[in-house]
């Protein structure tokens, strides 16, 4: 079973999530709508980003995507997966494949997470990234909207 997300957007979402963790300690998004034209991710975060932080985020996501990192998958036992990643976001019906293994998506040495969706084979295929807006609403909801592709 695979989510019907646009593969380049889905790959960019993984990089965005890891960048939010590394730059701002936010954790991964709790909600996402990933469409070919534009996408959004929602984070539990206590405030909006400043314009300087938003530009820093956009620049870092683009830097990582431009590295042309391989996007690969591994299937591991639930016990092994639990030792590597947080499994809380996976719906119960997709906790494991028919052989009882969890699918982990790895983006070079930058990100690793459980995932059921389609991805591109390399981060360079999900580039460039443009943060088109960001907003904050109480309680603790930071929304990031973004697009991908040349000519942005």
Q: Could you tell me the residue range of the domain that residue 82 belongs to?
A: 7-148
Place of tokens 């580039």: 127
3-class SS letters over 51-88: HHHHHHHHHHHHHHHHCCCEEEEEEECHHHHHHHCCCC
Average pLDDT over residues 27-39: 92
Residue 90 inside a domain? The answer is: yes
Name every residue whose Cβ is closer than 8 Å to that of residue 5 and which is 6 or more positions away in sequence: 13, 34, 117, 118
Residue 89 inside a domain? The answer is: yes
**pLDDT tens digits for 69-110?**
999 999 999 889 989 998 887 766 555 666 788 999 999 999
**What CATH number does the domain containing 59 carry?**
3.30.980.10
Residue 1 inside a domain? The answer is: no
Average pLDDT over residues 36-64: 96
Q: What is the pTM of this model?
A: 0.92
């Amino acid at each position: 079973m695979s989510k019907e997300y646009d593969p380049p957007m889905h790959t960019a979402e993984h990089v965005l999530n890891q960048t939010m963790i590394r730059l701002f300690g936010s954790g991964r998004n709790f909600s996402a709508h990933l469409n070919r034209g534009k996408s959004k991710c929602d984070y539990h975060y206590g405030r909006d980003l400043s314009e300087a932080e938003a530009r820093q985020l956009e620049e870092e996501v683009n830097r990582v995507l431009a590295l042309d990192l391989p996007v690969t998958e591994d299937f591991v036992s639930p016990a092994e997966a639990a030792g590597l990643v947080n499994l809380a976001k996976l719906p119960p019906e997709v906790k494991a494949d028919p052989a009882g293994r969890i699918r982990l998506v790895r983006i070079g040495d930058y990100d690793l997470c459980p995932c059921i969706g389609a991805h591109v084979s390399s981060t360079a295929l999900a580039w460039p990234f443009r943060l088109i807006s960001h907003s904050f609403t109480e309680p603790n909801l930071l929304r990031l909207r973004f697009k991908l592709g040349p000519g942005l």
